[in-house]
């Protein structure tokens, strides 16, 4: 026999059922709802990677700018080296040309004049060697000028180089195979003070000074603020020249 429910009990039972259904629905909804998945990388790690990437890009940009700067510096240095090398080559070439007499030499120096005696004659039956300037006198003076490191030397406008010869045929004197006659003017471009010290040393030229004091020949030397010595116009020997192929 079923128990008897009054109205109050019915209301309570219905309320209990409704509450149970509500709880069931709530639990069912919670179990079916997907829990959001957590991020693979925490927020702070992502920020750190962003900072690292930014620093890398900044360093890369700085390195690239540094490379550009260094390239420009290298190009400047190369241009400077090429310019200096070119200047050095030109300077070396000028020195070589000057040394072999292929360019005019100018500057301070010393001028020497040596001449036969006033009564001397290079022609005739009676010729006195003591009254004549000899080829050996000129060679002694030129050798002294070379030892004094003169930049350039000439005798009667004949440029003296290493290949030059000073010789005589009878009473005639030849320089670079060209006849020259007195008075003999010797010019030397260089340190005039150093050259004059050597010229004034009578021990270096005993015969010249001895004959000069006796009046047999005339000899004088004086410094010059400016001298011009012409280019060499004799024959150049090319036996030791080689053609360079690039």
For 113-134, how does the pLDDT look when each residue is reduced to its tens digit (9 = 90+)? 999 998 888 887 677 788 999 9
Q: Which of 72, 88, 229, 94 is nearest to 155 (CA)?
A: 229
Average pLDDT over residues 144-150: 93
What ranges make up the beta strands (E) of 19-156? 105-115, 152-155
Burial of 218 (C-beta count, 10 Å sphere; 0-12/13-18/19+): middle
Residue 125: the pLDDT is: 63
Report whether 158 contacts 151 (CB < 8 A): no
Q: What Cα–Cα distance (Å) separates residue 22 from each residue in 13, 30, 35, 79?
A: 14, 12, 22, 92
Burial of 245 (C-beta count, 10 Å sphere; 0-12/13-18/19+): exposed
Tokens 């030129």 correspond to 142
Residue 127: the pLDDT is: 75
Query: In this prediction, what percent of the chain has a pLDDT beyond 90?
Result: 39
Tell me the CATH number for domain 103-120+129-229: 3.30.70.1880
What would the pLDDT profile of 55-98 be if each residue is shown by its tens digit?
767 776 776 677 677 767 777 777 777 676 666 677 777 777 77
């Amino acid at each position: 026999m079923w128990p008897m429910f009054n109205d109050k009990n019915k209301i309570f039972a219905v309320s209990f059922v409704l509450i149970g259904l509500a709880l069931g629905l709530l639990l069912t909804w919670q179990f079916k709802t997907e829990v959001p998945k957590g991020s693979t990388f925490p927020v702070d790690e992502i920020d750190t990677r962003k900072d690292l990437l930014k620093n890398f890009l900044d360093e890369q940009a700085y390195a690239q700018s540094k490379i550009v700067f260094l390239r420009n510096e290298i190009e400047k240095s190369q241009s400077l080296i090429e310019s200096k090398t070119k200047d050095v080559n030109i300077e070396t070439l000028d020195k070589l040309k000057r040394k072999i007499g292929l360019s005019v030499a100018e500057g301070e120096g010393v001028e020497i004049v040596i001449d036969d005696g006033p009564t001397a004659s290079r022609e005739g039956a009676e010729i006195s060697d003591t009254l004549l300037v000899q080829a050996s006198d000129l060679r002694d003076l030129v050798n002294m000028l070379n030892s004094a490191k003169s930049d350039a030397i000439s005798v009667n406008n004949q440029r003296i180089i290493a290949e030059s010869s000073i010789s005589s045929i009878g009473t005639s004197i030849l320089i670079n195979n060209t006849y020259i006659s007195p008075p003999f003017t010797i010019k030397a471009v260089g340190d005039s003070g150093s050259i004059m010290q050597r010229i004034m040393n009578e021990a270096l030229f005993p015969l010249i000074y001895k004959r000069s004091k006796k009046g047999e020949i005339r000899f004088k030397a004086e410094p010059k603020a400016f001298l011009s010595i012409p280019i060499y116009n004799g024959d150049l020997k090319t036996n030791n020249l080689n053609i360079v192929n690039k």
